[in-house]
Amino acid sequence: DGGITQSPKYLFRKEGQNVTLSCEQNLNHDAMYWYRQDPGQGLRLIYYSQIVNDFQKGDIAEGYSVSREKKESFPLTVTSAQKNPTAFYLCASSIVTAGTYTGELFFGEGSRLTVL
């Protein structure tokens, strides 16, 4: 079955450590995204990518980094510079039509990061 796989589902980190969240898709989608969700708040965009080796900052990119070396993979690193990293992280993908991102996103199951 096609879909998006995120791992790990739960992750605990000590302050000062970098952690990397994995996101893999087999939908053959061009665009991939990382969102952050905090309780009672909407999803906020961290980074997005339309093609391999290219990505753009979203609204809250500070303290995060990404790479897009393969179409299927879009890992997110939460660095020690992120001041409040405890959150639910969601990876998504979508098709791109005529250079425009569609709003119909396919999401993974999410990764919950807790900083101790």
Interface positions with another protein (CB under 8 A):
4, 6, 40-45, 48, 56, 58, 90, 92, 100-101, 103-110, 112
Nearest distance from C-beta of residue 41 to another protein, angstroms: 6
Nearest distance from C-beta of residue 56 to another protein, angstroms: 6
Q: Which amino acid appears at position 8 of this protein?
A: P
Q: Nearer Cβ to another protein, position 43 or 79?
A: 43
Q: Nearer Cβ to another protein, position 13 or 101?
A: 101
Q: Nearer Cβ to another protein, position 33 or 72?
A: 33
> 55-60: which pairs have CB atoms within 8 A and are 24 or more residues apart?
58/33, 58/34, 60/36
Q: Is the dihedral of CA 82, 86, 87, 92 positive or negative?
A: positive
Q: Nearer Cβ to another protein, position 6 or 82?
A: 6
Nearest distance from C-beta of residue 104 to another protein, angstroms: 5
